[in-house]
């Protein structure tokens, strides 16, 4: 996950330094892809936590930032 985020960051900085119209469009495209990826990862993680809690009959789940 960290490797993928670093790849997106490097691509964004490279495109921002270019500054062309097509580069700005590509940045918007990349932001959307990254947002979808993070939403999916968060969903899968929370699903795994809930599944574990149900299997082990846990009544309270505490989360921290």
Phi, psi of 45, deg, nearest 5: -65, -45
Cα 19–chain centre separation: 25
Would you say 34 and 8 are in contact if contact means Cβ atoms under 8 Å apart? yes
DSSP category for residue 57: T
The candidate with the shortest Cα–Cα distance to 45, out of 32, 61, 29, is 61
Q: Does residue 65 have a pLDDT over 80?
A: no
Give this prediction's pTM: 0.70
Q: Does residue 5 have a pLDDT over 90?
A: no
Rounded to whole angstroms, the Cα distance separating 36 from 27 reads 14
Instruction: Give the pLDDT score at 64.
Output: 82
| Both structure tokens of 58 | 């846990």
Q: What is the pLDDT of residues 27-62, one digit of tens each?
A: 999 999 999 999 999 999 999 999 999 999 998 988
Instruction: Give the pLDDT score at 55.
Output: 94
């Amino acid at each position: 996950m960290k490797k993928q985020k670093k790849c997106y960051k490097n691509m964004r900085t490279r495109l921002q330094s270019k500054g062309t119209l097509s580069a700005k469009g590509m940045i918007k495209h990349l932001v959307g892809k990254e947002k979808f990826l993070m939403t999916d990862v968060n969903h899968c993680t929370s699903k795994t936590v809930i599944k574990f809690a149900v299997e082990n009959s846990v009544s309270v789940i505490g989360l921290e930032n």
